Chain A
Amino acid sequence: GEDVEQSLFLSVREGDSSVINCTYTDSSSTYLYWYKQEPGAGLQLLTYIFSNMDMKQDQRLTVLLNKKDKHLSLRIADTQTGDSAIYFCARRGSSNTGKLIFGQGTTLQVKP
């Protein structure tokens, strides 16, 4: 299977919570990331978590890391139409080259 995997599509109603899931295979990853790509734009870092953490919260965003299951999730509380975008999970490669390995991206559709 792929190194980093995500489901391709998620649809929620405005005001609901969104949960985007990601699994990965390499347990040596030091940092794991969530990037957001709005239509017609490049990727922007949304948040990241270091591998020795289980959870990180930043305003409406909560990242959960389950190292045992190699599972990462991003929860967006009170989802707004402006949150509609593609969300990419990524992990840092095991070498020191700085390259990131990305998942397929999850398209989040927020319905009013």
Chain B
Amino acid sequence: DVKVTQSSRYLVKRTGEKVFLECVQDMDHENMFWYRQDPGLGLRLIYFSYDVKMKEKGDIPEGYSVSREKKERFSLILESASTNQTSMYLCASSLPGPGTGELFFGEGSRLTVL
């Protein structure tokens, strides 16, 4: 069964802390994505990666960075967490190319910044 695993389901951090959100997929997918989900706003793309060590900014990259050192792992980093980064973070992966482009999602990481 295909799987995208996010390391933490719930995190509580303080303003200014550095936060790491980890995501691992076992499907050998080239593409990986980080979205944040907020009520009434849907999913907004933070960063994505289409290969190891490659990354591209999504629609809301400010305050975030990412790391893709291995194909199966894509990390989202909040260098200095702020209260407006309290949100649900969803990782996803997909195959490249002209196919259906289905995204496979993890279960999400709910981050609260106090």
Contacts and interface: CB of A to CB of B under 8 A. Distances in A.
B73 to A, nearest CB: 17
Contacts, number: 62
Contacts of A96: 96-98
A8 B40 contact: yes
B9 to A, nearest CB: 9
A41 B107 CA distance: 5
B42 A104 contact: yes
A31 B100 contact: yes
Contacts of A31: 100-101
A4 B41 CA distance: 11
Given A42-B108, A43-B90, A98-B94, 11 more contacts: A43-B103, A45-B102, A48-B102, A88-B42, A88-B43, A92-B101, A96-B96, A97-B50, A98-B96, A98-B101, A100-B101
Interface of A: 4, 6, 8, 30-31, 33, 40-45, 48, 88, 90, 92, 96-105
B33 A104 contact: no
Contacts of A48: 100, 102
Interface of B: 4, 31, 33, 35, 40-45, 48, 50, 56, 58, 90, 92, 94-98, 100-103, 105-108
B61 to A, nearest CB: 13
A88 to B, nearest CB: 6
* 4 cross-chain pairs, A with B, having the tightest CB-CB distances, nearest first: A42-B105, A102-B43, A104-B42, A98-B31
Nearest to A2: B42
B41 A104 contact: yes
A34 B94 CA distance: 16
9 contacts: A31-B100, A31-B101, A42-B108, A45-B102, A88-B43, A96-B98, A97-B31, A102-B35, A104-B41
